[in-house]
A and B are shown apart, each in its own frame.
Chain A
Amino acid sequence: MSKKEEGFTLVEVLIASAILAIALIPMLSVLNINLKWMTHTKDMRVAANLARLEMEKVKSLNCKEDEIESAVYEKTVNKTVWKIEREADSSTDPVEIWINIYKKDATKPSVTLFTLKENLTWP
């Protein structure tokens, strides 16, 4: 064989493509971020509407402020179990009512709504 030919050897090409692949793999996650955000907005929509549902229930009651009980219950929307938490803080006057909507077993609520209940009775 004549001296040294100019060009890349097979090993060099393989190493170069391996480095390229390693550099490109993290970029694949960019594709998934889209899906993640889409799911997030979808969940926020569902949670906000569930919170509105619970708040409207509280608003429609005819009862004294100390009669409102705290409760947790589940509701399935969009094939997902949502935990609806209604919390009445009786130590405050007017009573603070918090509504938290959790997705499945999440520890952080997706949506929180808050209102005050005064001791009013309606005719």
Chain B
Amino acid sequence: MAVKKSIAGITLIEMLLAISIFSVISVAIYSVFRSGIKIYRVTQKNLKLQENLDKIVNTVVSDLQQCRQMLKLAPSEVSFWDSKGQKITYTLADNIIYRNGIAVLEEGCLKADIKFVYFSQGNPVDNYGENLNKKQRDGITLIEFIISITDGSQSLEISSAVNIRLSD
């Protein structure tokens, strides 16, 4: 029986070597791919938070700027008459902000929080602290608000203020 000296093909060693090189490369590629997807998801979520927070802040600011007569001013509830003679009420219940009874955000998965602090003469907070212990103009109330929004692990907070002048 004649044994051929060399058969065309690959040996087991060569094959194992090829597979191991291929697997090392593919593991690297996979991890890059996976982190890409992860970053995409984080960005997407954060963008959604930012957009929604913007929406609340803009609604609150534009409403408060139209305020003519304040009816109620509590940490988590404001109620006032606006320039068109419409009554506007903001309330917070179970981490949902309601404007005249309608939720400001449609998306139920987002938890929001709002807190109003106000500064005006003769009211609980007489001056702002922070080296600005000057008198305020009569009839001017500064409403500072802190709005935060949470989506699972991520959260975003914004602090801002509006001056309101009561016409009476």
A interface residues, Cβ below 8 angstroms from B: 1-2, 10, 13-14, 17, 21, 24, 28, 31-32, 34-35, 38, 41-42, 45-46, 49-50, 52-53, 56-63, 67-69, 71, 73, 75, 77-79, 84, 86, 122-123
- With the chains together, A19 CA to B119 CA distance in Å? 64
Residue of B nearest to A63 (CB): B134
**A interface SS class:** helix
The answer to whether the Cβ of B144 comes within 8 Å of any Cβ in the partner chain is yes
Known: A56-B142, A62-B137, A73-B131. A35 touches B57 (CB 8 A): no
- With the chains together, A53 CA to B36 CA distance in Å? 37
Residue among B21, B40, B43, B140 making CB contact with A13, cutoff 8 Å: B21
Complex contacts, B159 vs chain A, CB 8 Å: 46, 49-50, 53, 75, 77
B interface residues, Cβ below 8 angstroms from A: 6, 17, 21, 25, 28, 32, 35-36, 39-40, 42-43, 46-47, 50, 53-54, 57, 119, 128, 130-132, 134-138, 140, 142, 144, 146, 156-163
- With the chains together, A122 CA to B6 CA distance in Å? 104
**B134 to A67, Cβ gap below 8 A?**
yes
Give chain A nearest CB distance to B54 CB in angstroms. Answer: 7
